[in-house]
Amino acid sequence: MRTFAGVLAAALLASGAADAQQALKPGTPSILQWSPEQQARWYPAIETVYQVRTVPRGKRVHPLPRAAKEIAPSFTYGGKTFTVDDYMKAYNVSGVLVLKDGKILLERYGMGRKPQDRWTSFSVAKSVTSTLVGAAIQDGKIKGLNDVVTNYIPELKGSAYEGVTVRQLLMMSSGVKWNEDYADPNSDVARAGTAIQEPGVNPIVSYMRRLPRANAPGTKFTYNTGETDLVGVLVSNAVGKPLATYASEKLWKPYGMERDGIWMTDLAGHERGGCCMSMTLRDYGRVGQFILDGGKAGGKQILPVSWTKEATSPQITNGAPAPGYGYFWWMRPNGSYDAAGIFGQSITTFPQDRLIVVINSAWPQATGRELGLARTAFVDALRAAATAP
């Protein structure tokens, strides 16, 4: 039987696997191949390496007050006892944040990172992109989840995406054939969006509309990095503005992020819906809190009332003995839901505990069973300490 960690680890390798972004300097190695020194230098400053758009913050900052007591758990994993600092050093963690009822129980930095420093998200950006779908529905720019994607990306008419709904894209169940083999240089994930194929057409759209259909839409979960970028194109087409601008209007400004965000762009200058936002550790926590609080900001309902519950609930099985997959959110057997990215990025929310755990890392490899199990043990220890009487 495949474990949840195994399925999640295999899928997470997709994040950033296709070099569909434009490096500022020729000869820059793939983000998947950076040395530890390059990770430490460039993860907090991705805008010095790749083309990006800025997600402007507003004038107000959403407060994250400190709780009366800080937690400092230790835990045993692999026969060894770890403190928080031990885990951070052993697993190249640059930041850990624990929020309970919106208050900081733990905030710790490593690798020379400071509170004002941003850190790249990899696939955590997918969960932000799905949130912007909800905002566009609330704004009336997307008619609903059962509307077809060709109404928003007309270049897909006549392709295997004909008849596919917005909901099916968010569930990664379009039925379109896709090869996510990271070791194969000819796989779809390695080729999609890496060249301008048709002037005036987004490169990911150009690639995706040539793919055949393998399954009936909505019947099978297939992790597909290309489609998450496609959702980003869909949102920006629907609202008539760049994703970064819309994210600023719907999340960064109204909820009160403390620093401008950064969003990596593809070869056409469009933000990648599936990858690579950068924000501070506390702003990662605010993203999690915004979802936990039902998508409200500044006293206004930014997302449909039912959106956050639906997006973070299982909508389709994903081949693991876990509850399943939502709208670009992972469900876990312990009742939490995750926004997750390779090299150790995660926002884990335990809704029943009103608890959020954010971890930013620079793992020595994109993912791996041992890395995942160690993080799970760490998160479980943080949860136990946070909910102890």
What would the pLDDT profile of 84-140 be if each residue is shown by its tens digit?
999 999 999 999 999 999 999 999 999 999 999 999 999 999 999 999 999 999 999
4-370, CATH topology level: Beta-lactamase (3.40.710)
| Domain ranges within the chain, ordered by starting residue | 4-370
pLDDT at 4: 43
Residue 250 clears pLDDT 90, i.e. is over it = yes
What would the pLDDT profile of 267-294 be if each residue is shown by its tens digit?
999 999 999 999 999 999 999 999 999 9
Question: Which two structure tokens, joined as six digits, stand for 46?
Answer: 């991705």
Task: Kindly report the number of other CB atoms within 10 A of residue 151's CB atom.
Answer: 16
Please give the mean pLDDT across all residues of the chain.
Answer: 92
Residue 323 clears pLDDT 90, i.e. is over it = no
Residue 355 clears pLDDT 90, i.e. is over it = yes
- Tell me the mean pLDDT in the region 149-177: 97
pLDDT-derived band at 321 (thresholds 50, 70, 90) equals low
Residue 168 clears pLDDT 70, i.e. is over it = yes
Residue 13 clears pLDDT 50, i.e. is over it = no
pLDDT-derived band at 339 (thresholds 50, 70, 90) equals very high
Residue 2 clears pLDDT 70, i.e. is over it = no
pLDDT at 320: 65
pLDDT at 91: 98
What would the pLDDT profile of 197-230 be if each residue is shown by its tens digit?
888 899 999 999 999 999 999 999 998 989 999 9
Question: Which two structure tokens, joined as six digits, stand for 70?
Answer: 């800080």
What global pTM score does this model have?
A: 0.94
Residue 12 clears pLDDT 50, i.e. is over it = no
CA 349 vs CA 34, 78, 102, 125, 317: distances in Å = 29, 25, 12, 16, 20
pLDDT at 188: 87
What would the pLDDT profile of 26-58 be if each residue is shown by its tens digit?
889 988 889 999 999 999 999 999 999 999 999
pLDDT at 7: 43
Pairing of strands 261-264, 277-280: antiparallel
pLDDT-derived band at 17 (thresholds 50, 70, 90) equals very low
pLDDT at 67: 97
Minimum mean pLDDT range among 2-6, 73-77, 261-265: 2-6
